[in-house]
Amino acid sequence: MAQDVRFDVLVIGSGASGLAAAVSAARSGARVALATKGSLQANNSSKAQGGIQASFGADDSPDRHAADVWASSHETADKALVEVLTGDARSAIHWLEELGVEFTHDEDGGYRLARCGGATAKRLLQVGDRTGHAITKQLREAWEAGSGTSFTNAPLRELQQVNGHWRARVGDHPVEAGTVVLAAGGRCYAEAERRGELSTNHPNATGEVTKLVLELGAESRDLDALQYHPNGGAWPPNMQGYSIPETTRAYGAVLLNADGEEFTDSLGPRDAVSQAIVDEVHAGRGVDTPDGRPAVYLDTTRISEADAEISLPYMLRRYRGAGIDPLREKILTYPVLHYQNGGLVIDTNAETTLEGVYACGEIAGGTHGRNRMMGNSLLECVVFGRRAGRAAAEKASA
């Protein structure tokens, strides 16, 4: 029989942001429940490959990182949130290391840093090309090692404020909590289905939690700004919708049209690169996949074997398993629906405009404005997940 249970903090979602919030709230002394739609492992965060940004380079700084975010967002981001994102980045990385995440290092002992699209410095830390998997695994282990309660296969169905507390129904469980952290991710899987397009996203990325709190009166921003990943796999069929890591371009791959010409800065901001590909195809200079889909070439043969082995082993394995060796032949690519840039309005402690309701990760808006840089989403999950967890625990105990 379903049991009525009371907690200090209820976290919704088990991606990087939800886990970071749950671990932080529990470590702040709160009684925490985490409810998620499927298993703890089912989320977009685990699929993230490329890496996470933090300004560790000798010529780099949080201010320079912030300036790149601001420029890539076309000056639409919330500057206060950007400052937090880039200012907390190094401590977020050290926190992950304390939890057991082992970032890839270079021979000189420093972090192996790559330059991502829109960045003016090498700033992307990686764990091979399974960075999201490594981060969520360690966060999950930290969460499961504590005394918090997990409700799996328990989608949030109802949320209402009753006598200063939040009453929720997650799956069949009624739950009460002093504060709530929403970390239910974006909606690009559902949106791609609606548009009849491919998406890189996990099937749980459907956006109903955002809808639910908008109905309660929460404010949102930039929800219409959806991001296409410039490099969706276009061929062979089992790689369609796969997000070819942006680190392919960081390590030397370039985009080519049907005539073998470079037609854009392959390390430009994401929206600019995606638009350049669409325009090139529209102008008749693209190539067709064998099943008649639009594409251009990504010349991955320019990546050195050594870089590929250290930083792209998963991508190589996936393509080679599908019968194509990206170090010997160019691969076919086309933009694919990937990320929800906007979301719920939050302050620097990740509190939404509903008091006692926090939001972190892809469900929140403002940090990236209308165009996110790669590697800043995992960072946002950890930075704002930690802040949300701490603040939610504090408010619940007040």
Ligand X SMILES: Cc1cc2nc3c(=O)[nH]c(=O)nc-3n(C[C@H](O)[C@H](O)[C@H](O)COP(=O)(O)OP(=O)(O)OC[C@H]3O[C@@H](n4cnc5c(N)ncnc54)[C@H](O)[C@@H]3O)c2cc1C
Can you give the binding site for ligand X, defined by CB under 6 A?
12-18, 35-38, 42-45, 47-52, 131-132, 155-156, 183-185, 200-201, 204-205, 208-209, 243, 339, 361-363, 374-378, 381
Rounded-to-10 torsion of CA 122, 125, 129, 132: -130
In angstroms, what is the minimal distance from the CB of 134 to ligand X? 11
Nearer Cβ to ligand X (94/211):
211
Among residues 42 and 272, whose Cβ is nearest to ligand X?
A: 42
Q: C-beta of 364: minimal distance to ligand X in Å?
A: 8
Amino acid at residue number 264: T
Residue 200 C-beta: closest distance to ligand X, Å: 4
- Looking at beta carbons only, is 209 or 344 nearer to ligand X? 209
Q: Which residues are catalytic?
A: 270
Cβ closest to ligand X, residue 150 vs residue 376: 376
Name which of 286 and 338 has its Cβ closer to ligand X.
338
Cis peptide before 290 (omega within 30 of 0): no
| Shortest separation between residue 261's beta carbon and ligand X, angstroms | 28
